[in-house]
A and B are shown apart, each in its own frame.
Chain A
Amino acid sequence: AQSVTQLDSHVSVSEGTPVLLRCNYSSSYSPSLFWYVQHPNKGLQLLLKYTSAATLVKGINGFEAEFKKSETSFHLTKPSAHMSDAAEYFCVVSDLKDTGRRALTFGSGTRLQVQP
């Protein structure tokens, strides 16, 4: 069975400072991992995904994440926050279910606030 833990429900940063959103996962198999962003009243947009290639994954809008198997972590970072980054971020694991088919499990989300 798989699970995803987002360690912070809220993160507040100042514009221009680094962003770190933390995610730990557990998985019985080799997982694929994703970060999605959700702006208010919108659907989810894919930021980046890890599928067992390079451990450092670059995504859209300057975001990147590093897969660390030894720490079972997949933290999301951005060097410099922008006001438009304010949103909710979801860490997601795609893993095999008992049915033998993959399904997504979502973390509980981290709300990022960006202060001017």
Chain B
Amino acid sequence: KAGVTQTPRYLIKTRGQQVTLSCSPISGHRSVSWYQQTPGQGLQFLFEYFSETQRNKGNFPGRFSGRQFSNSRSEMNVSTLELGDSALYLCASSPRTSGSPDTQYFGPGTRLTVL
């Protein structure tokens, strides 16, 4: 089975712009979660989607949003970019909703740099 894929792998934007990142889960996986990884804050949970519905949300401002499509692919969007949004954004998929401790499988990440 192909793993979790994320596009693009690298992205450079300027402050005030918006960005959309894409994640394709492992085939058959219905849950997709997003994480932000920075040297200062470490790995932080952004949100989780299952069956096109947001099931869980971390403590991030409303500039961070996401959605999931019927084929389980997910996108996350960050509007009005700030320098502090520079990070590695990781997507993870698991077979079902996080009602039980399913293992999450991570993609390689998208490295976003905000100038």
A positions within 8 Å CB-CB of B: 32, 34, 36, 41-46, 49, 51, 90, 94, 97, 99, 101-109
Instruction: Name the residue of chain B whose CB is nearest to the CB of A36.
Output: B106
Residues of B near A94 (CB, < 8 A) are 98, 101
B positions within 8 Å CB-CB of A: 4, 33, 35, 42-45, 48, 55-56, 58, 90, 92, 97-101, 103-109
Tell whether A102 pairs with B98 under 8 Å between CB atoms, given A42-B108, A44-B90. Answer: yes
Contact A109 B55 (CB under 8 A): no
Tell whether A101 pairs with B106 under 8 Å between CB atoms, given A43-B90, A106-B43. Answer: no
Instruction: Name the residue of chain A whose CB is nearest to the CB of B50.
Output: A101
Show 22 A/B contacts (Cβ-Cβ < 8 Å), sorted by A: A34-B103, A41-B108, A43-B90, A43-B109, A44-B90, A44-B92, A45-B106, A51-B101, A97-B56, A101-B48, A101-B98, A101-B99, A102-B99, A102-B101, A103-B48, A103-B98, A104-B33, A104-B104, A105-B45, A106-B35, A106-B43, A109-B43
Q: How many A-B contacts if CB must be within 8 Å?
A: 54
Pick the residue among B42, B45, B48, B106 that contacts A109 (CB under 8 A).
B42
Complexed CA–CA distance, A101 and B109 (Å): 25
Instruction: Name the residue of chain A whose CB is nearest to the CB of B6.
Output: A43
Contact B103 A103 (CB under 8 A): no
Pick the residue among A36, A49, A101 that contacts B55 (CB under 8 A).
A101
Chain A: minimal CB distance from B94 (Å): 10
Residues of A near B42 (CB, < 8 A) are 106-109
Complexed CA–CA distance, A86 and B77 (Å): 33
Complexed CA–CA distance, A107 and B105 (Å): 17
Complexed CA–CA distance, A49 and B105 (Å): 13
Contact A90 B43 (CB under 8 A): yes
